[in-house]
Structure 1
Amino acid sequence: MTAQPSPPLPRPAAPDPVTPDTGAGARPRPGPAAVGRPGLAERLGSPPRGVLLLGLAGTVLMFLGAPGGGGVPMRDPVIGNSALSFWRYGHGAMLATIVIYTGLALMVWAWVRLGRAVLARRAGGRAVLTTAAVWMLPMLVTVPLFTRDPYSYLAQGALPNNGLDPYVVGPDAMGGVFTDNVHFFWQDTPAPYGPLFILLAQGVVLLAGTNVLLGVLLMRLSLVTGLLLLVAVLPALTRRLGGRPAVALWLAVANPVTVVHLVGGIHNDLLVIGLLPLAALLALRGRFAWAVAVASLAMAVKASAGLVLPFLVLVWAAKLSGGFVSRLVRAGAPSVAVFGVVFGAATWVSGLGFGWLPALSAPSMIVNWLSVSTAAGQAGAGVARMFADEVDAQVFVDVSRAVGAGLLAVLTALLWWRARDDATAAVRNAAIALALAAVLSPTTLPWYLSWGFCLLAMTPWSARGLQWVVAGSVWLMIVYFPDGETALYVPHYLLACALAGALAAVSLLRPDPLGLRGPRRGPDVTAGAVSTGARPRG
């Protein structure tokens, strides 16, 4: 998902006529004679029926398997003591996991086929949105998949309701039903999230009481508002960034990482991916103070979102007259004031002060090689063990993480400087900086890549770039097991994941990559089908 968009390919002067493609589940468009009031299919964008049903079958299977193979609560009031309790243990849990993976394979297959229809212009933005919405329906009510984070969110919201500071103590200081469901790794860890999110979690816990399943459902519905916000601003922002709305919706909304990880798994990154595009669109429309305010709210959810703020100052400065330093001061001073008011208000309302700042180091306790800086340290320690008997791997990891932080600072500064006179470039470079932050920070988790990608999806893409996105999305989707445990240190499983991602990427442009159907008469989807979109507007 972090692949930087390649330069767009030129649009063919006279594109070939659209031909039916049963592999994409497309339906012929109504001819000129179709007049009068549009039917339901037309109002929904005529989504490819076969693709829609295939993806829905996949998410339904994942919904059915989740109570046994997903991030199930420790005490399940629904099937825990019923005749269905076998689904959670032994062979039942193994079968449930197989059902989840089967559903995921169907959903990924449907996503790739939907991508072919989008590239060949057989499916527009409305069709993509309708298809993604249908796929997400089972995910709105499923047990958490590929994570146990929602239980941590609920526990962190319950802490202040019980008179405890979530930035000082972890869930184990409270005990009770919410604490019981938190992953052991996070039991004594303070909350690393901003005051706005803690306020939201408090509200969810107040409404749910001690009902864990209701709390999970309410948390998901609260966070999905971020996705709705992304959908609302995506068409207008995509046109300004030069992309094509249908492609952007396919990449950012219908993506399995969004459908399964962010919605099915329930991550507060959903709020960030809605607030940041809104801030970018407001800035490009000249609503600068509002843009800074919205980005400040995003930072009050996750600190990483604050990386966008300096780039929004550039957008503001680009609209002013005079020398660069003068424009920067005139845009920067009110931006700092707005940020101080908004972020200060969120902090004051939460009543928790700035204790969340030292708590930001909590995720760094996770050591996995998805983070480039952490992986470099682990590799260095491995080399050192070839020449020494006793090697402290943590020292290597700490040093490489420090180098990674320095590299991120340098790259972000370069991206900022290169966009100093171009408002559109400032938004694009902010997205690249967020993507770099996700992979160079001490800890990287698959859904972190959504920070920058929610904006990068709206830029022009080449066919090769889209293939990289497909491969990365599929691989990131399955490097964690459905119960939330990491699969990053299971080599044969990771190899299978990589092969699955590569096959999906090739299949985007070659419907029969393994040659199982024999010679194909019709043309494949080619790079020329990718639209360059509208000309970016600053």
Structure 2
Amino acid sequence: MSPTAPATSASGRPEGVGRATGVLDLGGRLLRGPLPLRTIALGAVGSALLLIGSIGAGGTLVHDPVLGSGPLSALRYGHGRDLAVTVVYTGFALLVWAWVRLGRGVLAHLVDARGVLLAMSAWLLPMLPAPPLFTRDVYSYLGQGLLALHGLDPYAVGPSVLAGPIPENVHPTWQTTPAPYGPLFIGVAKGVILLAGHDVIASVIVMRLVLLAGLAMVVLALPGLVAHLGGRLPVALWLVAASPMTVVHLVGGPHNDLLMIGLLLLGTLLVLEGRHGWGIGLASAAMAIKATGGLVLPFLVWVWAAHLAGSPRQRFVRAVVPALGIFAVVFGSCMALAKVGFGWLPALSAPGMIVNYLSAPTGFGQVLHTLVSLFADVDTWPFVDFGRAVGSLALAAVIGWQWWQARAGGVIAIRRAAVVLVAAALLSPTVLPWYLTWGLALACALPWTPRALSYVVGASIALVLAYYPDGEQAMYHWPFVAVGIAAAVLGSASLLRYDPLGFNDFLGRRQRGG
């Protein structure tokens, strides 16, 4: 079956599309897509199961007022916890199934942006009250906000210097680690603690709601970005807003990357539309959430320069000087409001404590160590450090080359900025699954082929399954990894083919033979 041809059910309706009908003009062009009601319901059931399973299998509290001593406490131990984990993975499977079905409808021009947004809303709603899923990072966010609220420097000390329910739930890795986030996010975390009144469960929910502002900015920016960059709005929304990476990691987590991405996309749109100062300001605010956002700023300067008159050098100077001024004002204001200094810069190395092969340089170092270990008993860190040094040089070369090649501005600059964000995720010393959303969020507004989208589906599945629901990594449980890869391959193929395993053909042959 062609990737652009919709599968049909026995009733003749496109697979995954409910009874609501679309409106077609005389040329057959879809003006308003049908609502894929059954597909939306399927994903909503999956999200509901994720919520139910997360109560026992997610990033639960050390001293949990919900599961502490009542009948639900059985979900935290033994067979009860095994059942909760099974429910989580079942919910994830249904969510992915629904997302792939929705993607087939989008590719076939049978589902429009309205249908994707409805699916996104239905799938995200059960995540709002859920315990953290596939991570415990939100407790670190809250711990850092609590430090700032007590007048301590979160760039100098870790949450372990405080006592109470929030610090005790921070993952052991981050108990003594300074915050690697920008001053604006420290201010956000501080505000969340003030709003929630130090209650851990309420703080997680409030943090999730605050970070959803990032998703709102993504949805607001994508129509304009698609118009500038040549993509399709339903595809862009399906890739980012309704993706399992967004539902499970960015919202279910939740992760502050969502707020950074939202500010970055809205700032990029404003620069493309000629509102350069406001756009640079929002992109600077994105960097004040997480340093990664700063990688896009030099590319936005090229876009600004391309809108000006004069020689190339004159245009660049006339763009870069005010851009630097705006950046200084925005970043300085964030530091002043959060009452923090420049300590976040050395703290950026903190995630380097995590060692896994999702980072290409770290994986390269691990492979070298494994090979040398066949002949000698050596420590792994020199090899990991060597691989990371090579990766840092490679990343610097990629950034420099892509930036120089982007000097024409416009679409080329944004495309190359997206390449840099992807390279930053893959070549960083530490790579966590949701880092791949950085570049995807910016690139989703560009034109995509069905084949390329199928690769995104496979990568999304594999990356979510790289961690267990409680936030511990699963990348060295090789049977589990094999299952995750198989699921990723199946999901990828399913976007392009309705029945990639040939079950229908097999059943048809059995029926004819009978």
Report if aligned partners of 1:18, 1:120 keep a CA contact under 8 Å in 2: no
Equivalent residue for 1:356, pick from 317, 323, 344? 344
Q: How far does residue 32 in structure 1 lie from its aligned partner after superposition?
A: 7.4
Equivalent residue for 2:384, pick from 397, 401, 404? 397
Q: Which residue of structure 2 aligns with residue 266 of structure 1?
A: 254
Q: How far does residue 518 in structure 1 lie from its aligned partner after superposition?
A: 1.7
Residue 385 (1) aligns with residue 373 (2): yes
Equivalent residue for 2:239, pick from 251, 274, 280? 251
Q: Which amino acid aligns with 2:330?
A: V
Equivalent residue for 2:413, pick from 401, 423, 426? 426
Q: How far does residue 177 in structure 1 lie from its aligned partner after superposition?
A: 1.1
Summarize the Cα distance change of 1:32–1:129 in structure 2 as closer, same or farther, 3 Å threshold. closer
Percent of aligned pairs sharing the same letter: 51
Partners of 1:454 and 1:187 in 2: how far apart?
Answer: 31
Equivalent residue for 2:39, pick from 51, 58, 77? 51
Summarize the Cα distance change of 1:21–1:358 in structure 2 as closer, same or farther, 3 Å threshold. same
What TM-score does the superposition give when structure 1 sets the normalisation length? Answer: 0.90
Q: How far does residue 81 in structure 1 lie from its aligned partner after superposition?
A: 1.9
Q: Which residue of structure 2 aligns with residue 6 of structure 1?
A: none
Q: Which residue of structure 1 aligns with residue 437 of structure 2?
A: 450
Q: Which amino acid aligns with 2:427?
A: L
Give SS of 2:249's match: helix
Report if aligned partners of 1:65, 1:97 keep a CA contact under 8 Å in 2: yes
Equivalent residue for 1:228, pick from 216, 224, 229? 216
Q: Which residue of structure 1 aligns with residue 173 of structure 2?
A: 185
Matches within 5 A, 1:332-343: 332-343=320-331
Quick check: 18-27 or 353-362, which moved more? 18-27
Structure with the larger RCO, 1 or 2 (CA within 8 Å, 6+ apart): 1
Q: Which amino acid aligns with 2:218?
A: L
Partners of 2:328 and 2:43 in 1: how far apart?
Answer: 45
Partners of 1:138 and 1:127 in 2: how far apart?
Answer: 18
Q: Which residue of structure 2 aligns with residue 155 of structure 1?
A: 143
Q: How far does residue 25 in structure 1 lie from its aligned partner after superposition?
A: 3.2
Report if aligned partners of 1:47, 1:131 keep a CA contact under 8 Å in 2: no
Equivalent residue for 1:240, pick from 220, 228, 238? 228
Summarize the Cα distance change of 1:31–1:390 in structure 2 as closer, same or farther, 3 Å threshold. closer
Summarize the Cα distance change of 1:284–1:84 in structure 2 as closer, same or farther, 3 Å threshold. same
Q: Which runs of 5+ in 2 are unaligned?
A: 26-30, 509-514
Summarize the Cα distance change of 1:251–1:359 in structure 2 as closer, same or farther, 3 Å threshold. same
Residue 306 (1) aligns with residue 294 (2): yes
Equivalent residue for 1:24, pick from 11, 16, 23? 16
Report if aligned partners of 2:299, 2:409 keep a CA contact under 8 Å in 1: no
Report if aligned partners of 1:18, 1:122 keep a CA contact under 8 Å in 2: no
Q: Which residue of structure 1 aligns with residue 201 of structure 2?
A: 213
Residue 285 (1) aligns with residue 273 (2): yes
Report if aligned partners of 1:371, 1:442 keep a CA contact under 8 Å in 2: yes
Give SS of 2:15's match: helix
Q: How far does residue 169 in structure 1 lie from its aligned partner after superposition?
A: 0.6
Report if aligned partners of 1:241, 1:424 keep a CA contact under 8 Å in 2: yes
Residue 484 (1) aligns with residue 442 (2): no
Q: Deviations over 1:437-487 (max 9, x none)?
A: 011011000011111111111110111101101110111111100000000
Q: Which amino acid aligns with 1:55?
A: G
Summarize the Cα distance change of 1:77–1:436 in structure 2 as closer, same or farther, 3 Å threshold. same
Q: How far does residue 161 in structure 1 lie from its aligned partner after superposition?
A: 1.5
Q: How far does residue 23 in structure 1 lie from its aligned partner after superposition?
A: 3.0
Q: Which residue of structure 1 aligns with residue 59 of structure 2?
A: 71
Q: Which amino acid aligns with 1:241?
A: L
Q: Which amino acid aligns with 1:460?
A: P
Partners of 2:272 and 2:445 in 1: how far apart?
Answer: 14
Partners of 2:417 and 2:178 in 1: how far apart?
Answer: 29
Q: How far does residue 383 in structure 1 lie from its aligned partner after superposition?
A: 1.5
Equivalent residue for 2:125, pick from 107, 132, 137? 137
Q: How far does residue 74 in structure 1 lie from its aligned partner after superposition?
A: 1.0
Q: Which runs of 5+ in 1 are unaligned?
A: 1-10, 34-41, 522-538
Partners of 2:90 and 2:24 in 1: how far apart?
Answer: 41
Q: Which residue of structure 1 aligns with residue 84 of structure 2?
A: 96
Q: Which amino acid aligns with 2:476?
A: Y
Report if aligned partners of 2:459, 2:488 keep a CA contact under 8 Å in 1: yes
Give SS of 2:110's match: coil
Partners of 1:78 and 1:46 in 2: how far apart?
Answer: 41
Partners of 1:415 and 1:356 in 2: how far apart?
Answer: 26
